[in-house]
């Protein structure tokens, strides 16, 4: 069953920072795929904008290379048509260069206009001021911003004030690309489209929930940024928090932007403060030919964490008593992101004590292979009495939907949602602020205590203390697959 392509109106997408890493790695390949799927109709344009002095032809060459390097394609027969819809403007966010030219380019039609701020947040205000000053923003315009959205509550509020000073909240699309993943949306479909799970989706039946986002990569070329951010700000406050929201939220009345975001906000606001002994921070050390974190960030005394695990609780009727364990880190033994919902044991084993402990687990695998597995307990086949084993009921979407089930990647989906004006999968200002309001005291706590992250060998599961965080509760993390 091929995925259905919903037509979109012609649009203009201006990518500020069109020569940068994010544009080349994600935005350009995503747009090319949507072009090939017929979602960039004829008069639509992609306009790259950055300070580099490039001709339109020169920028098209940048695009061609980006597709080769990050889109894994030479573009094939579709490439020339795609490039033909691309323009470039040399522009300075902080100066006067290029703005008249961009305005003239946009003035020739009344398409939906999306302005992707693929630049550092320090330039948001400059871009917003100049877009307004040159009257490029109308009611049908949208802006897209990326993480990091602030580094604490105060800076996030300041950014929101800046953006909301120029645009309506309904025009601001704050991307968390985890929300664009197929399986993350399937999580909502599984929860709210089936009768099977929702009645059991609460503290009465669920022992605990664990969320892992593990990466094998180190901080790469982003050492300076990461040294200031750490895993808590870079991953936990946004990606893991969003996953937690979707797992824990009440059913919204409708699958509509504010209905969904209202429910997510309630989850964040229900989070209790986290006890210091429920937090484990780690820092990778050198191994297997890679250098350690402190060398990567060029600070021999760095106290920034490349790994964090914590246990948190939601104070509401549905979840009182069910712990949520979250962990994320770099240089771990596998690239493996998953959510596991661990159901409670059956209240009484009719098969006697020798059959061991068995419980159901629902695992939502986000990467590398998206899919959902439900572990159920069955009789081990064969002679020898009643022995029980757990086997997975594998709901691999690729298998269920056939070889043509070609799910768009997160950026493809999210960019098309921007064009259609659908904010369901984007974070609202109050959500972002609530997430920081929960995160700030955690960070302030370890800063005040002078905590130093625990070292862990690169390509392992993180510090031993993270295992103990679970073990002392009689639980285990699911393995990180390499
Ligand atoms: P980058 O590689 O440094 O690119 C920055 C872009 O901004 C370049 O195109 C640069 O081009 C342009 N630029 C810089 N100053 C400018 C100015 N004064 N006027 C106009 N253009 C200017 O950064 P990036 O990695 O693409 O990241 C962009 C944003 O996305 C950042 O906020 C980052 O945190 C966020 N983000 C990135 C990723 C990723 O995978 N890279 C992932 C998530 C979030 P010129 O030098 O030619 O002007």
pTM flag (> 0.85): yes
Cα 180 to ligand 1 centroid, rounded to whole Å:
21
Q: Which residue, by CA, sits nearest to atom 10 of ligand 1?
A: 17
401 pLDDT band, cuts 50/70/90, is: low
- Over 90: is that where the pLDDT of 380 sits? no
Could you give the 3-state DSSP secondary structure of residue 207? strand
Q: So what's the pLDDT on residue 39?
A: 93
Kindly state which CATH superfamily the domain 179-408+428-471 is placed in.
Answer: Dihydrodipicolinate Reductase; domain 2 (3.30.360.10)
Mean pLDDT of the chain: 93
74 pLDDT band, cuts 50/70/90, is: confident
50 lines ligand 1 (CB under 6 A): yes
Nearest atom in ligand 1 to the alpha carbon of residue 177 is 43
Mutate to test the pocket of ligand 1, among 28, 98, 118, 219 (most ligand atoms within 8 A of CB): 118
Q: So what's the pLDDT on residue 400?
A: 64
Q: Give the residue with greater pLDDT, 356 vs 414.
A: 414
- Parse the chain into domains and list their residue ranges: 11-146, 179-408+428-471
378 pLDDT band, cuts 50/70/90, is: confident
- Over 90: is that where the pLDDT of 253 sits? yes
313 is catalytic: no
Name the fold adopted by 11-146: Rossmann fold (3.40.50)
99 pLDDT band, cuts 50/70/90, is: very high
- Over 70: is that where the pLDDT of 396 sits? no
Contact 328, 231 (CB under 8 A): yes
186 pLDDT band, cuts 50/70/90, is: confident
The residue whose two tokens read 């929960």 is 438
Q: Which residue, by CA, sits nearest to atom 5 of ligand 1?
A: 20
Residues 6+ apart with CB under 8 A from 232: 281, 305, 308, 439, 442, 443
With CA atoms as reference, report the closest residue to 150 among 427, 431, 432, 425.
432
From the number of C-beta atoms within 10 Å of its C-beta (0-12, 13-18, 19+), residue 469 rates as buried
Order of strands, sheet of 371-379, starting from the edge strand that comes earlier in the sequence: 388-395, 371-379, 361-367, 336-343, 206-214, 324-329, 307-312, 279-285, 454-457
405 pLDDT band, cuts 50/70/90, is: low
- Over 80: is that where the pLDDT of 155 sits? yes
276 pLDDT band, cuts 50/70/90, is: very high
Q: Give the model confidence (pLDDT) of 108-146 as tens digits.
A: 778 999 999 999 999 999 999 999 999 999 888 999 999
Per the residue annotation, which of 111, 177, 208, 239 is the catalytic one? 239
Order of strands, sheet of 112-117, starting from the edge strand that comes earlier in the sequence: 86-90, 45-50, 11-16, 112-117, 141-145, 172-174
Q: Which residue, by CA, sits nearest to atom 21 of ligand 1?
A: 50
406 pLDDT band, cuts 50/70/90, is: low
Q: So what's the pLDDT on residue 82?
A: 97
């Amino acid at each position: 069953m091929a995925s259905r392509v919903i037509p979109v109106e012609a649009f203009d997408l201006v990518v500020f920072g069109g020569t940068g890493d994010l544009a080349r790695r994600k935005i350009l390949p995503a747009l090319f795929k949507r072009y090939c799927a017929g979602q960039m109709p004829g008069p639509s344009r992609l306009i790259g904008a950055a300070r580099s002095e490039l001709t339109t032809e020169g920028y098209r060459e940048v695009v061609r290379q980006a597709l080769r390097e990050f889109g894994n394609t030479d573009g094939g027969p579709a490439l020339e048509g795609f490039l033909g819809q691309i323009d470039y403007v040399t522009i300075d966010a902080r100066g006067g260069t290029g703005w008249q030219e961009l305005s003239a380019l946009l003035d020739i039609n009344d398409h939906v206009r999306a302005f992707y701020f693929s630049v550092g947040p320090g330039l948001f205000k400059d871009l917003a001021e100049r877009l307004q000053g040159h009257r490029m923003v109308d009611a049908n315009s949208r802006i897209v911003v990326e993480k990091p959205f602030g580094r604490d509550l105060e800076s996030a509020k300041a950014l929101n004030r800046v953006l909301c000073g120029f645009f309506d909240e309904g025009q601001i699309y704050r991307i968390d690309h985890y929300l664009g993943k197929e399986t993350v949306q399937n999580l909502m479909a599984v929860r709210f489209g089936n009768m099977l799970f929702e009645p059991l989706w609460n503290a009465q039946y669920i022992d605990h929930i664990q969320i892992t986002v593990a990466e094998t990569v180190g901080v790469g070329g982003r050492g300076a940024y990461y040294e200031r951010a750490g895993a808590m700000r870079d991953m936990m406050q946004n990606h893991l928090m969003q996953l937690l929201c979707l797992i824990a939220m009440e059913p919204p009345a409708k699958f509509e932007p504010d209905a969904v975001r209202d429910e997510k906000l309630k989850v964040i606001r229900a989070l209790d403060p986290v006890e210091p002994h429920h937090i484990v921070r780690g820092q990778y050390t050198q191994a297997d030919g890679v250098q350690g974190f402190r060398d990567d960030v060029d600070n021999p005394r760095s106290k920034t964490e490349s790994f964090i695990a914590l246990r948190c609780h939601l104070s509401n009727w549905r979840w009182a008593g069910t712990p949520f364990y979250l962990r994320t880190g770099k240089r771990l033994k596998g690239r493996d992101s998953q959510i596991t919902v661990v159901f409670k044991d059956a209240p009484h084993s009719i098969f006697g004590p020798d059959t061991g402990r068995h419980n159901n687990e629902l695992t939502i695998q986000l990467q590398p292979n998206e899919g959902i597995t439900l572990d159920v307990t069955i009789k081990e086949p064969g002679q020898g009495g009643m022995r029980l084993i757990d086997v997975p009921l594998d709901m691999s979407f690729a298998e269920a939907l056939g070889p043509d089930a070609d799910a768009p990647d997160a950026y493809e989906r999210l960019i098309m949602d921007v064009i259609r004006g659908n904010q369901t999968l984007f974070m609202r200002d109050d959500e972002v602020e609530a997430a920081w309001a929960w995160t700030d005291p955690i960070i302030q706590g370890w800063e005040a205590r002078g905590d130093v992250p625990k070292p862990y060998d690169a390509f392992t599961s993180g510090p031993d203390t993270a295992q103990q965080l679970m073990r002392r509760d009689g639980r285990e993390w699911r393995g990180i697959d390499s």
